[in-house]
Amino acid sequence: MRMLLIHSDYLEYEVKDKALKKPEEISEEQKKGRLEEVLAAFISVEKVDEQNPEEVVEKAVKEIEDVASQVKTKNIFVYPFAHLSSELGSPDIALKILKEIEEKLKEKGYNVKRAPFGYYKAFKLSCKGHPLAELSRTIIPGE
């Protein structure tokens, strides 16, 4: 898994078109979303993650919690992003992993939104620009 973590004044998105034949089913309300004072986690799920999805979810949640506590925010945007890797995992497993990351963060008391999976989306982001505002993490099961 590859993660780009951006601490932002806000992140907002708007769903445009389908990027997959069968994208995630979403409600009208989910077609747009915005969070303020947010840690945006742009996530590419990779083929290697399919060896142990549970471990990858656990490690991703830990990394996100670690950065969120350093930048002092409880607002997290889980954003599916297919452009951080050339070894993408299957959409079905990727969606499952992203949903589990969302759920575990919510269980831990974070205010979490997850951008819809399988769509082209317009988005706006306002990176804060401090030294910890742009970070990346690579998660490999078994390592």
Ligand X SMILES: Nc1ncnc2c1ncn2[C@@H]1O[C@H](COS(=O)(=O)NC(=O)[C@@H](N)CO)[C@@H](O)[C@H]1O
Q: Taking CB under 6 A as the rule, does residue 80 contact ligand X?
A: yes
**How far is it, in rounded angstroms, from Cα 63 to Cα 40?**
13
Question: Are the C-beta atoms of 19 and 60 separated by less than 8 Å?
Answer: no
| Region from 3-11, 62-70, 81-89, 134-142 binding ligand X, contact rule CB under 6 A | 81-89
Comparison of 33 and 89: residue with beta carbon closer to ligand X? 89
Residue 26, token pair as written in the block: 């979403």
Applying CB under 6 A, does 117 fall inside the site for ligand X? yes
Write down the least CB distance from residue 85 to ligand X, Å.
7
Q: Which is nearer to ligand X, 74 or 93 (CB)?
A: 93
Tokens standing for 101? Answer: 């990351």
CB of 124 to ligand X, least distance (A): 17
According to the binding rule CB under 6 A, does residue 44 interact with ligand X?
A: yes
37 versus 103: smaller Cβ distance to ligand X: 103
Q: Is 8 in the site for ligand X (CB under 6 A)?
A: no
Closest by CA to 66, choosing from 27, 31, 108, is 108
Residues 6+ positions from 133 with CB-CB distance below 8 Å: 6, 7, 8, 71, 127
